[in-house]
Structure 1
Amino acid sequence: MKISLKTGIALSLLPQILLVRWLATKPEWVENYYSQGIYPVTSRAFRFLFGWIPFSVGDIIYLSLTIVALAYIYRNRRSILINKISFLRDVIMVLSIAYFTFNLMWGLNYYRQPLSNTLALKESTDYEELVSFTKSLIAKTNALQNKIAGDSISPINIPYSKSKIFQKSLEGYTHLSNEYPFLEYRTPSVKKSLFNTGLSYMGYAGYLNPFTNEAQVNGLLPNFRFPVVTGHEMAHQLGYSAENETNFIGYLVTASNSDIYFQYAAYSYGLGYCLNDIRRRDIAMFDALLEDLNGGVKLNFQEMSDFWANYENPTEPVFKSIFNSFLKANNQSKGIQSYNAVVSLLVAYHKQHPL
């Protein structure tokens, strides 16, 4: 029996999934032939294609496809109810195409070798090491806040536009690549999302569009957090998919910047994760460490807390749950908690490179 093209594409979804699962067991192959082979070529090509455009092409594509899909369903609602099997096949066909494109354009990076292997870092969850490192981070963050503000009580306001922060983040990557050539970043395509308010209500600071390779950053974020999130999304463009790894690269590239405001943004960012980790383990130690923070640093942390509180809504947990499931389906077993796993990378790195 002859199989139609639509049916053939739909049926290809299962072997695609099996192939990706098999590749997940071959991280060396993925690293050598995809993450360091095919992907750098395709990613730079798409950044060259779309990077010069001042707005997010990917956001426009997402919006257009959503409108087209809803319009199609509305216009054909009666036919869909009558031909449910054909409609289901068409949906699976679209999913098959999207799955293939996603993995070819970016998704296989989820199965590459860990960044800790590349950097020869031995991660540790030792509590005493964490506390010791957190105290060093507090001292570093307090010193930078005091140096910028001239006192210990004033919050730091990074005096740059979002576009300037994008530019200075590129400078940070240039500097960092002198030490780690594999983090060289060229052909920029970093933009504010067209849907900043929507991202805020969903609880997202940014995202990478895997189909256009545009790094999207939530333009409503306070400047206090904007440099590290920019560095994080640019790390995704370099082919690092694990959220703990892109958190770490975002921290590292921002801390490596010669600009003192960027350094403050980086160290306070890392400090926030470390304090949260300690709070989950020992609330008394957390309270004691919090007492050592300068008032200005606390106000900056409060600024971020107030920002997200302004966008709290009943749908946010739903979007977080969807993203959590997406991460778990793509080789990040801890799901959304993988962001917090940056702490072990920070501790391991600064054992080799003390603050």
Structure 2
Amino acid sequence: MNNRLKNSIALSIIPQIILVKWLGRYPQFIETYYSLGLYPFLSKISRTVFGWIPFSLGDIIYALLVIALFRYLILRRKKIKQEPRAFFRNVFVVISTAYFTFHLLWGFNYYRIPLSETLALEESNSSEQMVLFVEKLIDKTNETQLLITTDSTQKVIVPYSKKEILKKTIAGYQKLDSRISIFHYQRPSLKNSLFSTGLSYMGYGGYLNPFTNEAQVNALLPNFRYPVVAAHEVGHQLGYSAENETNFIGYLVTSSNSDIYFKYSAYSYALAYCLSDIKKRDEATFDLFMAKLNEGVKKNYQEISDFWLSYENPAEPVFKSIFDTFLKANNQDKGIESYNAVVSLLINYHQQHPL
């Protein structure tokens, strides 16, 4: 690649950013021509090409890129010192290329019409609505836990392998599609991440590889939480970028599944977000709700808490901060806090479709 071409590619990052931010001001255009137009076509191609591979090709590509980076820095260290301008130009060539590819293959979904608008759901709720919803959700979670274990003091142990859970997740999407067609899911590409240990130390339950369109799930997650996280990542694969939206989709798909273990996963997941929200507002009310939970449900919550605590490390807040900044730079004003915004979607959905 000659220097003129490299310079052009490196400098193109500036008009690219301007174009993305300008187009982002027109969500209806993005929704019509990208999220419902170009993106489904490109994503189906990616899932067709990579979905049949039983392992995560995207993880391997990332690993090879990291190795290539370190190899380049070691072997070219003298030249980098001698020609720093050329080095930084090469860095921006990579950044510019990645920025273009990311937005072409997935990133424009950050600027689409909110799911709440598509489904005609409010994005706010009153304290009274919250309390009534949580009371119903506690009853549903307790009831499901008791149906599974026949003992309110026993935690739920999901008897399926991770591979079986992934298959059942796909079946759940097929069932939901009969009610809400926008969640139609073809040519699945849903896999365990090869870097699940790394994801655990970073504090992540999974991620979507935007370049291969593979939905990656942290294979080390406790089984009772795994189904809803898998469904969450497929939500990203369908073109929904906002974390509160994919949390909601993950709940909707998993609770719609005919399998009782999946229903428990969904109810306990939604309840955890609601209780977390209430704890921030009113700790006394939170304590009252916790007292109503079956001991078995509490043990499952302790299980997921112990899981994350076992991987706690000084670098985790750094990774969370980077992701928070990434979300804010991509039209998610609340950053990582947007995960918790799922509560309003849950409450308003169940106003129309009672539990």
TM-score, normalized by length of structure 1? 0.99
Q: How does 1:112-261 map to 2 (within 5 A)?
A: 112-261=112-261
- CA distance in 2: counterparts of 1:91 and 1:125, whole angstroms: 46
Residue by residue over 1:151-208, the C-alpha shift from the partner in whole angstroms, topping out at 9 and shown as x without a partner, is: 2110000110001001001111011001111101010101101111111000000000
- What root-mean-square deviation, in Å, do the aligned CA atoms of Structure 1 and Structure 2 show? 0.9
1:21 matched residue in structure 2: 21
1:99 matched residue in structure 2: 99
Residue by residue over 1:72-111, the C-alpha shift from the partner in whole angstroms, topping out at 9 and shown as x without a partner, is: 1110101101111111111011000000000000000000
Shift of 1:350: 0.4
Q: Contact 1:123/1:347 (CA < 8 Å) preserved in 2?
A: no
- CA distance in 2: counterparts of 1:24 and 1:131, whole angstroms: 36
Evaluate the alpha carbon distance shift between residue 219 and residue 24 of structure 1 in structure 2; reply closer, same or farther with a 3 A threshold. same
Which amino acid in the other structure matches residue 180 of structure 1?
Answer: I
- CA distance in 2: counterparts of 1:297 and 1:239, whole angstroms: 33
Shift of 1:123: 2.3
Which amino acid in the other structure matches residue 186 of structure 2?
Answer: R
Q: Contact 1:56/1:214 (CA < 8 Å) preserved in 2?
A: yes
Q: 5+ unaligned residues in a row in structure 1: which ranges?
A: none
Secondary structure at 1:208's aligned position in 2? strand
1:348 aligns with 2:314: no
- CA distance in 1: counterparts of 2:204 and 2:169, whole angstroms: 20
Q: Contact 1:56/1:193 (CA < 8 Å) preserved in 2?
A: yes
TM-score, normalized by length of structure 2? 0.99
Shift of 1:270: 0.1
- Deviation above 4 Å: which 4+ runs of structure 1? none
Q: Contact 2:125/2:348 (CA < 8 Å) preserved in 1?
A: no
- CA distance in 2: counterparts of 1:318 and 1:116, whole angstroms: 31
- CA distance in 1: counterparts of 2:151 and 2:353, whole angstroms: 28
Q: How does 1:63-74 map to 2 (within 5 A)?
A: 63-74=63-74
Which amino acid in the other structure matches residue 46 of structure 1?
Answer: S
1:294 aligns with 2:294: yes
- CA distance in 1: counterparts of 2:261 and 2:75, whole angstroms: 53
Shift of 1:3: 7.1
Which amino acid in the other structure matches residue 184 of structure 2?
Answer: E
Secondary structure at 1:320's aligned position in 2? helix
Shift of 1:322: 0.4
2:263 matched residue in structure 1: 263
Q: 5+ unaligned residues in a row in structure 2: which ranges?
A: none
- The alignment of Structure 1 onto Structure 2 pairs a total of residues equal to 354
Q: Contact 2:254/2:265 (CA < 8 Å) preserved in 1?
A: yes
Taking only the aligned residue pairs, the percentage that are identical comes to 61
Which amino acid in the other structure matches residue 290 of structure 2?
Answer: L
Secondary structure at 1:332's aligned position in 2? coil
Secondary structure at 1:42's aligned position in 2? helix
Secondary structure at 2:215's aligned position in 1? strand
Secondary structure at 2:239's aligned position in 1? coil
Which amino acid in the other structure matches residue 110 of structure 2?
Answer: Y
1:330 matched residue in structure 2: 330
2:49 matched residue in structure 1: 49
Shift of 1:332: 0.4
- CA distance in 2: counterparts of 1:237 and 1:46, whole angstroms: 11
- CA distance in 2: counterparts of 1:222 and 1:300, whole angstroms: 9
- CA distance in 2: counterparts of 1:125 and 1:317, whole angstroms: 30
- CA distance in 1: counterparts of 2:105 and 2:237, whole angstroms: 11
